[in-house]
Amino acid sequence: MSFPLAKFEPKPANMPRFAKALTTEQEDELRKIANAIVAPGKGILAADESVGSMGKRLEGIGVENTEENRRQYREVLFTTDASLAQNISGVILFHETLYQKDSNGTPFVKLLQDKGIIPGIKVDKGVVPLAGTNNECTTQGLDGLSERCAEYKKQGAQFAKWRCVLKINDNTPSYLAMIENANVLARYASICQQNGLVPIVEPEVLPDGTHDLRTAQKVTEQVLAFQYKALADHNVFLEGTLLKPNMVTAGQGCSTKFSHDQIAIATVKALSRGVPPAVPGITFLSGGQSEEDATINLDAINKYKGKFPWAITFSYGRALQASVLAAWKGKKENVAAAQAELIKRAKANGEACQGKYAGGVVGAAEGQSLFVAGHAY
């Protein structure tokens, strides 16, 4: 018995093989924003701590966690001298902070814009357990994200951030955790771009554990491979994105201590094997490193021999703010000293992202460990 062959119908000449996710104008806007954020000598101040996380910071200096105290602290940051913009290109805000004003009634967003600093916004809603895994997690917040992004864009935000976390132990990160978190980040990135926001993609491999440097490098390579496959699958415009990865460091409980140069080599190898050249920039998270270690490691990475296809800079929270908080202590008379700490730390990291940091910049939080086990925002 024979069957007739299916008739081949050629595709009309005017039908595209690949759908275009963004217009040329949208791509140009995203590319311009992304490149401005990673301009030479500049990086990001991550001031997007949630109410709970900010409460822990304030508790450390004996200040009550109220909306007014949180506002006052952010005012300290955002009313710092305009010279801050020489090294800070963007600031990531929390939802609450996006709508707040300084004591004179000026919106925080306008304060930043007037300094030439680009406002950004954290859009995820925190990590939650990932069922069927060994204490792994994913990040929630995709429901209603498009509407929120559209509103944030109207309020002046030009980029966004979403954090996922992966853990290293004998059995993790699992395949499920890597593919789930990669797809969540890719979906977020696509939604952001449709609404004119540059997505910062943050697949953080946590430093918790006893693993060595080689293990951290291999896991980071795996995570990046999953991530960029997912971004490709979701038709994300890479030239209009930024990556916020961990530096490759051994676990906090590892008995072997590795040098700054060893950390730099492992980090560069992982990035070179996993991040496409189309990505404009790498904006490292500090990952619980001390202020000085985060700066020295950034400098060592930028001093690594050879050329990178991407700008390599910082998106630091604790490593830019620890000395600010220590100097401020919730007192008006300490505002100038706290702002001086921010300028000093921003300048040090601005030098480090050009491989020009000489070291030795001491802050009010000198030597303080910033590591928080299982860190969640």
Spacing of C-alpha 265 from chain mean position: 21
* CA geometry: angle 11, 14, 16, nearest 5 deg: 75
Q: Give me the catalytic one of 29, 75, 180, 202.
A: 202
Q: Categorize the per-residue pLDDT at 368 as very low, low, confident or very high, splitting at 50, 70 and 90.
A: low
| Residue 17: predicted pLDDT | 74
Query: Is-catalytic flag, 202?
Result: yes
Judge whether residue 373 has pLDDT over 70: no
User: Is residue 1 predicted with pLDDT exceeding 60?
Assistant: no
Active-site annotation holds for 154: no
pLDDT digits (tens, 9 = 90+) for 60-87: 999 999 999 999 999 999 999 999 999 9
pLDDT value of position 11: 60
What is the band of 305 on the pLDDT scale with cuts at 50, 70, 90?
confident
Per the CB < 8 A criterion, the answer to whether 81 and 343 are in contact is yes
**Residues 119, 365, 356, 207, Cα dihedral to 10°:** -80
User: Would you say residue 205 has pLDDT above 60?
Assistant: yes
**Residue 376 pLDDT > 60:** no
Mean of all residue pLDDT scores within the chain = 94
Q: Give the pLDDT of residue 371.
A: 43
Nearest to 63 by CA among 326, 291, 317, 316: 326
CA distance 357 to 347: 9
| From 244, 292, 347, 351, the catalytic residue | 244
pLDDT 10s digits, 91-119: 999 999 999 999 999 999 999 999 999 99
**Whole-angstrom Cα distance, residue 298 to residue 341?**
19
Name 115's Cβ contacts closer than 8 Å, sequence gap at least 6: 82, 84, 85
Determine whether 42 is exposed, middle or buried from the number of CB atoms within 10 Å of its CB (0-12, 13-18, 19+): buried
In one letter, which amino acid is 219? Answer: V
pLDDT of residue 307: 82
Which residues have C-beta within 8 Å of that of residue 238, sequence separation ≥ 6? 231, 276, 278, 279
- Higher-pLDDT residue of 5 and 186 is 186
Could you give the count of Cα atoms lying within 13 Å of 69 in the half-sphere of its Cβ? 18
